[in-house]
């Protein structure tokens, strides 16, 4: 694991490497960005580099420290993540006690707390005392996709490192070169995941996702064509796949986004679902106003589902509205 192995985030990595080079490491960092965007990978590589015996801007991957780090068996690394969606105060209390013990093999002790926004208020307040006066040998890296759930005093006592979505072109290059995706598939995945490199890699290896996409598009096509008999089987499909509703709704939005773009430009090169282009052309009978109405309706339904309204009723209403002329 090296910084050079990480796709995207070059500017962020250079900032961290410059800090290592100048021995100007902050006691506490807050890595902020969307889920699966690469924050944890950068944090782990940063920590590995700081613990490496070679004291360079990349880990050597050969010293005892690097080998122990790779097996998650380094005595001077503490890695905390949520259990059942929560980081309890008892875990933070235990962590604080361990931080009072000097490093065993290195000059530093590194603490990484992943999804730190999942700490309860008591846990956050307990950690805050350590952030205010950390031991000189401790470096803390907090990782979050939801900074709003952290108390402001925690945020104010950290050096914030923001992670932006990775450029689509870089994700496409990675998926084509290392994961054997063709360019059209890779382009769809990169746009669908909105620059999240972790999600892109996961989806590229998931036949289940592509089966879900095929089934979603087929059901929507049937509904749009006015097949009222099959609308109930479509509702069943949504209910059966309720746990994947976020992906399903995004698939639908990208589908009608493609249809709208083609209606307005007639340029197939701008379409993301290029492998479904013939099926898409069969829906061009819908006028632009209707497509915009469908997109608005899907987005409204997505918000309602997030607010935990009656799931089946929300989906049924959305599908019936798609059939209205």
**144 and 260 both lie in a single domain:** no
The pLDDT tens digits along the chain (325 residues) read 789 888 888 999 999 999 999 999 999 999 999 988 999 999 999 999 999 999 999 999 999 999 999 999 999 999 999 998 999 999 999 999 999 999 999 999 999 999 999 999 999 999 998 998 889 999 999 999 999 999 999 999 999 999 999 888 889 999 999 999 888 888 889 988 988 888 999 999 999 999 999 999 999 998 888 767 778 888 899 999 999 999 999 999 999 999 999 888 888 888 888 888 888 888 888 899 999 999 999 999 999 998 988 999 999 999 988 887 5
3-state class (DSSP) for residue 79: strand
pLDDT tens-digit series, residues 147-185: 999 999 999 999 999 999 988 888 999 999 999 988 888
220: containing domain: 206-323
Look up the CATH number of the domain holding residue 278.
1.20.272.10
Cβ neighbours of 126 (radius 10 Å): 18
Assess if residue 99 is contained within a domain: yes
Tell which residue, 59, 141, 143, has the closest CA to residue 106: 59
Residues 72 and 146 in one domain: yes
Q: How far apart are CA 173 and CA 186, in angstroms?
A: 8
Closest by alpha carbon to 198, among 4, 1, 8, 2? 8
255, 307: one domain: yes
SS3 31: strand
Please check whether residues 19 and 147 belong to one and the same domain: yes
Residue 201 is assigned to a structural domain of this protein: no
> Does residue 314 lie within any of the structural domains?
yes
Domain contains 199: no
- E strand residue ranges, the chain: 28-32, 77-80, 109-113, 138-144, 159-162
- Does any domain span residue 74? yes
The pTM is what?
0.80
Give domain status of residue 181, yes or no.
Answer: no
pLDDT tens for residues 68-88? 999 999 999 999 999 989 999
Here the tokens at position 254 are 């990208």
Phi and psi at 59, nearest 5°, equal -70, 145
Number of structural domains in the chain: 2
Q: DSSP for 141-210, please give it.
A: EEEES-GGGS-HHHHHTSEEEE-PPPPHHHHHHHHHHHH---HHHHHHHHHHTTT-HHHHHHHHT-HHHH
User: What CATH code is carried by the domain that includes residue 126?
Assistant: 3.40.50.300
Residue 189 counted as domain residue = no
Question: Is 171 a domain residue?
Answer: no
């Amino acid at each position: 694991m090296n910084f050079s192995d990480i796709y995207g985030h070059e500017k962020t990595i250079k900032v961290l490497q410059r800090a290592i080079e100048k021995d100007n490491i902050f006691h506490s960092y807050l890595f902020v960005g969307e889920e699966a965007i690469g924050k944890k990978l950068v944090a782990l590589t940063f920590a590995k580099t700081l613990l490496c015996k070679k004291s360079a801007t990349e880990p050597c991957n050969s010293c005892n420290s690097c080998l122990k780090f790779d097996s998650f068996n380094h005595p001077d690394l503490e890695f905390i993540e949520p259990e059942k969606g929560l980081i309890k105060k008892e875990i933070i209390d235990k962590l604080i006690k361990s931080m009072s013990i000097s490093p065993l093999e290195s000059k530093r002790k590194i603490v990484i707390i992943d999804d730190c926004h999942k700490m309860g208020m008591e846990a956050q307040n307990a950690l805050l005392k350590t952030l205010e006066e950390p031991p000189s040998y401790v470096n803390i890296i907090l990782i979050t996709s939801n900074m709003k759930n952290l108390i402001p005093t925690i945020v104010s006592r950290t050096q914030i490192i923001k992670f932006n979505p990775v450029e689509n072109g870089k994700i496409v290059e990675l998926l084509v070169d290392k994961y054997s995706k063709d360019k059209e598939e890779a382009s769809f995945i990169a746009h669908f995941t909105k620059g999240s490199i972790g999600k892109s890699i996961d989806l590229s290896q998931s036949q289940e996702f592509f089966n879900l996409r095929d089934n979603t598009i087929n059901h929507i096509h049937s509904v749009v064509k006015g097949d009222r008999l099959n609308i109930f089987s479509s509702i069943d499909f949504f209910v059966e796949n309720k746990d994947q509703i976020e992906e399903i709704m995004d698939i639908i939005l990208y589908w009608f986004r493609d249809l709208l773009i083609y209606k307005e430009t007639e340029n197939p090169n701008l379409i993301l679902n290029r492998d479904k282009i013939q099926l898409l052309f069969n829906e061009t009978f819908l006028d632009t106003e209707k497509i915009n109405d469908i997109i608005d309706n899907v987005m409204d339904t997505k918000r309602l589902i997030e607010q935990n309204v009656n799931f089946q009723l929300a989906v049924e209403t959305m599908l019936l509205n798609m059939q209205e002329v």
